[in-house]
Amino acid sequence: MAESFRSSTSPCQTSSRALAEAMQRHLFFSQAKSPSLATRHDHYRCLALAVRDRLLHNWVDTAETYTQAQVRTAVYLSAEYLLGPHLDNNLVNLGLRQEAEQACHELGLDLEELIREEPEPGLGNGGLGRLAACFQESMATLELPAIGYGIRYEFGIFRQQITTQGQQESTDSWLAQGNPWEVIRPEWSYPVTIGNHTVIGVAYDTPILGYGVRTTNTLRLWAASAPEALDFASFNAGDYTKAVLHKMQSETLSKVLYPNDEPEQGKRLRLSQQIFFVSCSLQDMFRILRGQGLPAREFHRKFAVQLNDTHPAIAVAELMRLLLDEHRLDWDTAWGVTTASLSYTNHTLLPEALETWGIDLFQQLLPRQLEIIYEINARFLRMARIRYPGQPDKLARLSLIEEGPHRKVRMANLAVVGCHHTNGVAELHSELLRRHVLADFAELWPDRFTNVTNGVTPRRWMAVANPALANLLDDVIGSHWRRDLTHLQALGKHTGDDAFLQRWRGVRDASKQRLVQHIHQTQGILLDHSSLFDVQVKRIHEYKRQHLAALHVVERYLRLRNGEDLPPRTVIFGGKAAPGYAMAKLIIRLIVGIAEIVNMDPAMAGRLRVVFVPNFSVSLGQLIYPAVDLSEQISTAGKEASGTGNMKMALNGALTIGTLDGANIEIRDQVGADNFFLFGHTAEQIHEFDRMGYHPMPWIEKDPIVREVIELIGSGHFSEGDRDLFHPLLANLTSHDPFKVMADIGDYRQAQNHVDACWQDPSRWARMSVANTMGCGFFSSDRSIQEYAERIWKVAPVPVEATTRSL
């Protein structure tokens, strides 16, 4: 391994002593501090800047290589990037972690403490943003020319606290102490007109390093500013508020990730954010095109642009506007360039998540883009009428405009019409897109629809998150798994080796103890690391069915209270609910109420514990995923697009209890049905329930255990006697149950009983755990990106050679 890194580092990347000296220089020249006055955060910044110095060589070499070769470039447009902390990941990818440990030791510092000092970038919320981050790292590792574009949010979505009242939100000021990884590019700024205002987007660049290679791609994020920071006439007139009003209004665009879009002002801000980062990004691409002497009509030969869900779908209209109005192409040529440039990833099967915008709002903010959308729609429907004569209902579904009393622009329809490929993110998801959500388009253009199953980067989610497991794998099968996860199959030779299984259990036990220590330090709750760790950490949503798991915890509580002998279990929840999503916040409140009663009941000591870990993040994921025994992937079949948390947990040796939903299907295929706890109705059966008319009461009436659980919750037992608190949640489950919790809960119980039986045989569980890690080689983001590059983008690797620069 060391040899491969020697060839990938620049001349300045030498010994730990050089790194220590660089840290000391930055303490003086960048922080203006002496060691006696420096805080731990100052030392973190010094190490980060010293590591960034080493990245800069590769970053500049990469940009020069791409410019000289005039290579075709993959462009990723995403509203969020859940990057996680940079320092540890960059040390691993540079092969400098041991040197960093030694350098810190020489300076009397602790590397782990400095790593924990890094604020988590508030640029993403859930799986969509984390997937974008994994993809950026994989593109660099595969040496693919690529740029990621998004928004430099000043504040993350929110910081979550968990109290006895449930979720409480506060400001996520992740930039309060600056960001040592970014470089501002004020020379690359672009105007964007939104309604009657013009906003300037300023580029902030972050280097994204590949593993064991020199390739260092760019993540370019846009910060909003006003054309003039100060209205001098108003200032001189004494109207100081008006003097800075435009500046404040402009900067609001990049203030907060995903503002609440329940009120009209929230919708206005969300749409403004989307056109802002999309337009800046497209204008930047045209700048690159000009710099390489290429005409606008060659845009599609230079760039392959991927739309990460519907948030950047306005790119279809904006690229057309730039080609028509700024570069004076005729319509047919511009449309040919647009459709040849853009491709679209759909991430949802929920109709309410397919973005639509009211015509009135669109007209106010983006009148020219709306004109273009009308024209695209008119030409598209003209073609569709010829294909489907006398079928007005089909044409209405295909239209980019939803008619009716509240006319809307359908962004998913716009994306499909304006892109040469549309892909889902798991086999089932892609099939359901073709059969249901986008069926009319798939019938019209079957060749445009494809699947690329999601993946996760093994560097972040094993090498960084689980170094003990990474070292064990290096010892047993070699280190090639870090770049090619299919090498995990070699573990099959060791599943019968008792000594290996003992080491495996030791690694897992150490990861659980590490999490136990963190929870004790941060929440004051002491857990038993020898109990089964049953974990569900992800965005809180009804379709993900955290309430199904909560109901089972209550059932388990009752069974234990009634004297049943069950193996000890620790149930861990985590995840954020959108501030305006009342039912999701009520689910959190239920979990908190259950935890309060269970954890204070002396009869549950050593038998059952419940924890809600607040403010779930990448950093917490790196602690939690390696410690999971049982991964809860229990969404209603046909609702989850893919999931990536399911991959991270299984990759680290967790066993999954799950439905045939999203990527669960492919995980089960890869790891083997005997190593997966399956339950629940299929997507086809769920669809049939909806078609025939579903009511939960027949399921409840034949299940006395469920009735007892519902009655106990309704009695106020978990809400300090308040019988009304959980009434909306229980009423939803018993009268409507949109996500079929009651239909699946009996089967879920049987699967959980099977979990208990398997857990009581440690050797069997260890072999099943190894089988999960061994079978997850398919779920690498490297494989996903390779598929995008070969099948959709037509982008080839471009190795980056070293120069002889010195610091």
pLDDT of 741 reads 98
**What spatial distance separates the first Cα and last Cα of the chain, rounded to whole Å?**
25
- pLDDT tier at 251 (50, 70, 90 boundaries)? confident
Strand 73-77, strand 197-209: pairing: unpaired
For domain 70-85+120-454+788-793, give the CATH number.
Answer: 3.40.50.2000
- pLDDT tier at 588 (50, 70, 90 boundaries)? very high
Q: HSE on the CB side for 562, CA within 13 Å?
A: 9
**Using one digit for the tens of pLDDT, what is the confidence trace for 461-495?**
999 999 999 999 999 999 999 999 999 999 999 99
pLDDT of 316 reads 98
What does the block give as tokens for 585? 């916040």
Q: Where are the alpha helices (DSSP H) in 252-314?
A: 264-291, 299-302
**Using one digit for the tens of pLDDT, what is the confidence trace for 757-794?**
999 999 999 999 999 999 999 999 999 999 999 999 99
In this model, does residue 529 exceed pLDDT 90?
Answer: yes
Average pLDDT over residues 350-364: 91
Burial class from Cβ neighbours inside 10 Å (0-12, 13-18, 19+) for residue 529 reads middle
258 three-class SS: coil
pLDDT of 8 reads 45
421 three-class SS: coil
Q: What class, spelled out in words, does domain 512-779 have in CATH?
A: alpha beta
**Using one digit for the tens of pLDDT, what is the confidence trace for 693-737?**
999 999 999 999 999 999 999 999 999 999 999 999 999 999 999
Q: How far apart are CA 357 and CA 101, in angstroms?
A: 51
∠ Cα 205 209 215 (to 5°): 100
**Using one digit for the tens of pLDDT, what is the confidence trace for 128-178?**
999 999 999 999 999 999 999 999 999 998 999 999 999 999 999 999 999
**Using one digit for the tens of pLDDT, what is the confidence trace for 397-445?**
999 999 988 999 999 999 999 999 999 999 999 999 999 999 999 999 9
Average pLDDT over residues 619-624: 98
Cβ atoms of 770 and 504 within 8 Å: the answer is yes
Q: What is the DSSP letter of 263?
A: S
- Which stretches does DSSP call E strand in 647-757? 655-658, 676-678
In this model, does residue 6 exceed pLDDT 90?
Answer: no
Q: What are phi and psi of 186, to 5 degrees?
A: -65, -20
Average pLDDT over residues 649-662: 98
Average pLDDT over residues 263-272: 90
Helices then strands, counting H and E runs in the chain, come out as 34, 20
* Same CATH fold assignment for domains 70-85+120-454+788-793 and 512-779: yes
Domain spans of the chain, in order of start: 1-69+86-119, 70-85+120-454+788-793, 512-779
Q: How far apart are CA 649 and CA 652, in angstroms?
A: 5
In this model, does residue 12 exceed pLDDT 50?
Answer: no
From residue 58, alpha-carbon distances to 6, 42, 634, 805 in Å are: 14, 25, 43, 10
Residue positions annotated with a catalytic role: 347, 538-539, 544, 644, 648
Average pLDDT over residues 301-327: 98
577 three-class SS: coil
In this model, does residue 256 exceed pLDDT 60?
Answer: yes
